[in-house]
Amino acid sequence: MKIALRQLEGRSPGYWALLAVLAAVSGVGLLAAWTMEHHGHVITGMNNQIVWGIPHVFAVFLVVAASGALNVASMASVFGKTVYKPLAPLSALLAIALLAGGLAVLMLDLGRPDRLIVAMTYYNFKSIFAWNVVLYSGFMGLVVAYLWTMMEHRMNAYSTYAGLAAFVWRLLLTTGTGSIFGFLIGRQAFGSALMGPMFIVYSLSYGLAIFLLVLLAVSRWTQRPLESAMQARLTRLLAVFVACAAYFVLVYHLTNLYFAKQHGLERFLLQGGGLYTRLFWLGQLGLGSLLPLVLLLAPKTRNSRAMLVLAALAVIAGGLAQMYVTIIGSQAWPLQIFPGYEVSSSFYDGVVGSYTPSLPEWLLGIGGVGMTGLIVVLALKWLAFLPQRLDQFPSDAVAGNAH
């Protein structure tokens, strides 16, 4: 079956309104970054106890979701599920847009964003951060190449190889992102080899949730009804990914609970950590895992498009809560320089760090989401990323069942 791809004409008032909103959100984000650079991070809620705040929550979430957004394309090219082939270009486009949005936030939150050129020219190759610079640009290059092989007829023969390379690279990329935390020896919540694979699993569910939202929005707004069989496949797949992510969270905390030296940290995160504890139980687990699992699997809701949208939104909200607990909660727990001692100082030693995100930080983080959306909406008009019809997909019979 031949796949016809089309671009959006993008002339409707709705299209322009969406574009204007996304441009405004991005613009406000840039303005917030400029204000932060002008006044310094003193206008944020960050301090010398919590040095990575809400912008990092958004940035890392977007970067992790970027690699997961490539799921659908990988299934078509790497795992031979041809049924997903028409959706592969959209999947790759989202991967690029999410990574660009996340990196923009990460970069603009630097103390010296004007020194980007330094970050690109001075490398300490023992730093996982430096490796990430290579991994980010490599991912971007490979996915663009992959898109080219999918969309340029002459190059179609190479799309399997490009897809495989992009797939392997996205595993490396997210291992690298997780290892930013995994390679920190001083902080109790980090310093674990589990961080790499755990972030890969997070990426699968966050990326697919975002992909689903975009797909369903396009389907509705361009009046291209989505085939119910495809919706059912993606619903089941999201359920599997959400369950896997929950499993990793369980293993992470059980491992910590096994080691007596980690009991204080676990008591903080799971029991007495105030906002962090609430975000863990209600946000990460309740909203991010249990609610979507029920919505995606229960016979009454699993076929409903509205419930699928709700489930995807819940996965995203849960993902942001997870990043907040992982990144900020882990910094709030004080460093144990003197295990077995009560500690006090003028530098807040032994005290749970306090952090309240300020408006510019929120705006910068949300600005990254706006930039992602802006790239997607512009690209859909610029080039034919979307299948002409969403109610007919090629048979997967030869390659096997859906998943």
Task: Name which of 161 and 338 has its Cβ closer to another protein.
Answer: 338
Q: What pairs with residue 387 in β-bridges?
A: 5
Under rule CB under 8 A, residue 259 binds another protein? no
Q: Which of 157, 300, 341, 398 binds another protein (CB under 8 A)?
A: 341
The answer to whether residue 263 forms part of the interface with another protein (CB under 8 A) is: no
Closest CA to 219 of 8, 2, 3, 4: 8
Q: Which whole-number Å values give the CA distances from 30 to 59, 104, 107, 114, 136, in the listed order? A: 14, 9, 11, 13, 21
Q: Which of residues 362-391 bind another protein (CB under 8 A)?
A: 382-384, 388
Give the distance between the most distant pair of CA atoms in the chain.
70
Nearer to another protein, 75 or 150 (CB): 150
Q: Which stretch binds another protein (CB under 8 A): 57-65, 138-146, 262-270, 367-375?
A: 138-146
Burial class (CB in 10 A: 0-12, 13-18, 19+), 184: middle
Q: How far is the CB of 115 from another protein (least distance, A)?
A: 5
- Residues in 57-86 at the binding interface with another protein, rule: CB under 8 A: none
Q: Contact between 26 and another protein (CB under 8 A)?
A: no
Binding another protein by CB under 8 A: which of 164, 184, 243, 310?
184
Does 124 contact another protein by CB under 8 A? yes
DSSP of 185-201, one letter per residue?
SS-TT---TTHHHHHHH
198 binds another protein (CB under 8 A): no
CB of 46 to another protein, least distance (A): 8
What residue type is 397 in one-letter code? A
Q: Choose which of 161, 221, 258, 259 interacts with another protein (CB under 8 A).
A: 221
> DSSP code of 335?
P
Q: Which stretch binds another protein (CB under 8 A): 235-243, 244-252, 334-342, 366-374?
A: 334-342
CA dihedral 325, 328, 173, 140 (to 10 degrees): 110
**Residue 144 makes contact with another protein by CB under 8 A:** yes
Q: How far apart are CA 358 and CA 43, in angstroms?
A: 7
- The reply on whether position 150 binds another protein by CB under 8 A is yes
Shortest Å distance, C-beta 42 to another protein: 4
252 binds another protein (CB under 8 A): no
Indicate whether 161 belongs to the interface with another protein (CB under 8 A): no
Q: Give the C-alpha separation, 217 to 313, whole Å.
A: 13
Distance CA 160, CA 75 (A): 11
Give whichever of 137 and 303 is closer to another protein, judged by the CB atom: 137
The closest of 229, 223, 224, 215 to 72, measured between CA atoms, is: 215
**HSE-up of residue 355 (Cα within 13 Å, Cβ side):** 28
Instruction: Note whether 5 and 385 are within 8 A (CB).
Output: yes
Beta carbon of residue 106, minimum distance to another protein (angstroms, whole number): 9
Interacting residue with another protein among 19, 23, 28, 130 (CB under 8 A): 130
Alpha carbons 54 and 357: distance in angstroms, whole number: 6
Q: Within a 13 Å sphere around the CA of 259, how many CA atoms are in the beta-carbon half?
A: 11
Q: How far is the CB of 142 from another protein (least distance, A)?
A: 8
End-to-end CA, the chain: 20
Does residue 30 bind another protein (CB under 8 A)?
no
Under rule CB under 8 A, residue 264 binds another protein: no
- Number of shown-chain residues binding another protein (CB under 8 A): 90
Contact pick of 35, 47, 301, 304 for another protein (by CB under 8 A): 47
- Among 209, 215, 214, CA closest to 287: 209
Q: Is 395 in the site for another protein (CB under 8 A)?
A: no
Nearer CB in complex with another protein: 12/271: 12
Task: Work out whether 133 is an interface residue with another protein (CB under 8 A).
Answer: yes
Does position 332 interact with another protein (CB under 8 A)? The reply is: no
Question: Between 222 and 304, whose beta carbon lies closer to another protein?
Answer: 222
Q: How far is CA 87 from CA 66, 159, 228, 282, 390, in A?
A: 16, 14, 15, 33, 9
| Binder of another protein out of 275, 335, 352, 399 (CB under 8 A) | 335
Q: Tell which one of 247, 258, 259, 338 touches another protein (CB under 8 A).
A: 338
Q: Smallest distance, Å, CB 131 to another protein?
A: 9
Q: Of 128, 178, 146, whose CA–CA distance to 74 is shortest?
A: 146
Number of residues in the chain: 403
